[in-house]
Structure 1
Amino acid sequence: MSTLDAAPRTRREATAEAPKAARSRLRRRMHILGDLLLWVTASAGVLFAVLAVLTMLMGFRVMLFATGSMSPTIPAGSAALVALVDAPDVRVGDVVTVDRGEGSLPVTHRVVAVEPGAVSEERLLTLRGDANAENDPTPYAVSQVGRVVTSVPGVASTIAALGRPTVLAPLGVAAAGFVVWGLWPRKRERGEGR
């Protein structure tokens, strides 16, 4: 090694290399950000795909809670995953969703009494919201109900918004953009992969 090779860099050489190093760091950070966004998008896609399979093939539904009648167990603004079950399988203490007929929203309350119905597969369910002092006015004659499997507080408004075309379309475009960006071939940095 000659003394010329070991000579310190001049100020001009160091100044010329600084922007290159800064650009290289910025590119690395953008790649990391892109990878992170790709993983987040992929994870959300997997979650939505699992929910779609559960709802279409296994009879699950997602219920959104606008009122606090089931508080504190299921506060207003929660979303719940509900599995369809036959009425004979319902027990006192279950939290169930019952359809109330055409033009009315379903009700989700706790079962406080189960009685036989008019036929063997039917039951009369007396329900009460955890936050309510009294039972619902009349028992519900049902052959099938939705039993709450799990609930997540505070996500109902987000899920409701995701169902609107004005939100869903731009999110789809953004997700596609992240996937393309994440999979787009990248220039290799010097010294990378040696």
Structure 2
Amino acid sequence: MSRPGMRSGRFQHRLRETLLNLAAAGGAVCLIAVVLAVAFNITLILFKTGSMSPTIPAGSLAVVREIPAAEVKTGDIVTVDRPGKLPITHRIQNVEPAEGAARAITMKGDANAEADPAPYVVERVRIVLWSVPGLAYPLAAVANPVVLGATTVCVAALVSWVLWPRNASRRGSRRKRGHHAAA
């Protein structure tokens, strides 16, 4: 027959183990994502406007990879950097050679009636690999410094709770009866 205290102890042990395993898995996913991002030049883009709707609606998160502009073709969705302005992500309408490795790219948002006013002359672009609608808002919220600080405190508390020595009084009573605690 098990005692109520033993059930509670087993539950706490399982809870600690489960939370620690989840934290370890989350950390491993983060490390793998960083390695892949660096190795394959991958970044994330958050869509604030609906100029690419319905293909990529506002609030979407897109995974993009930087490539030479010479590799793009009509129909690709790419992000180009604009000096002094935010980057823009639209579908390529036309690609023409420019000076050196640069390309003059005419783009248009899927939801826009007309193409962007002037071609973008670029040597490198970021091509959209895939996107997830609605994921930009939660990701932006998590990037808030208050949320990051609270997450850090919670993870530190979890690790402390999991690794904190347990049952000091119990170990002392075992030694008195002749049992040895494992080192």
Q: What's the TM-score, normalizing by structure 2?
A: 0.79
Query: Are 2:26 and 1:44 equivalent residues in the alignment?
Result: yes
1:126 equivalent in alignment to 2:106: yes
The sequence identity of aligned pairs, in percent, is: 46
How far is 1:161 from its partner? 2.6
Moved more, 74-83 or 85-94: 74-83
The equivalent of 1:107 in structure 2 is 88
1:95 is matched with which residue: 72, 77, 84? Answer: 77
Shift of 1:69: 1.5
Q: CA deviation at 1:183?
A: 4.4
Match of 2:46 in 1: 64
Aligned pairs, number:
168
Relative to structure 1, the CA distance from residue 40 to residue 89 in structure 2 (aligned partners, 3 Å threshold; closer, same or farther) is: same
Q: State the distance in 2 between where 1:25 and 1:68 align.
A: 54
By how many angstroms is 1:63 displaced? 0.8
Pick from 12, 16, 25: which aligns with 1:34? 16
The Cα RMSD (Å) is 2.4
Aligned-pair distance for 1:147? 0.8
Deviation at 1:132, TM superposition (A): 2.0
Question: For residue 44 of structure 2, what is the amino acid of its counterpart?
Answer: V
CA deviations on 1:141-192 (whole Å, 9 max, x unpaired) are: 110000111222222122223323222122122123323434456569xxxx
CA distance in 2: counterparts of 1:40 and 1:126, whole angstroms: 46
Alpha-carbon distance between aligned partners in 2 of 1:180 and 1:80, rounded to the nearest angstrom: 36
Paired amino acid for 2:9: R
Q: Which is richer in strand?
A: 2
Query: What residue identity is the alignment partner of 2:29?
Result: L
**Within 1, Cα distance between the matches of 2:66 and 2:20?**
34
Superposition TM-score, scaled by structure 1 size:
0.75
Question: How far apart are residue 130 of structure 1 and its match?
Answer: 1.9
Name the counterpart of 1:140.
Answer: 120
Deviation at 1:125, TM superposition (A): 1.0
1:117 Cα deviation from its structure 2 partner:
1.1
After superposition, the C-alpha distances for 1:12-42 in whole angstroms (9 at most, x for unaligned) are xxxxx8xx73333333333333333223322
Q: Tell me which structure has the larger Cα radius of gyration.
A: 1
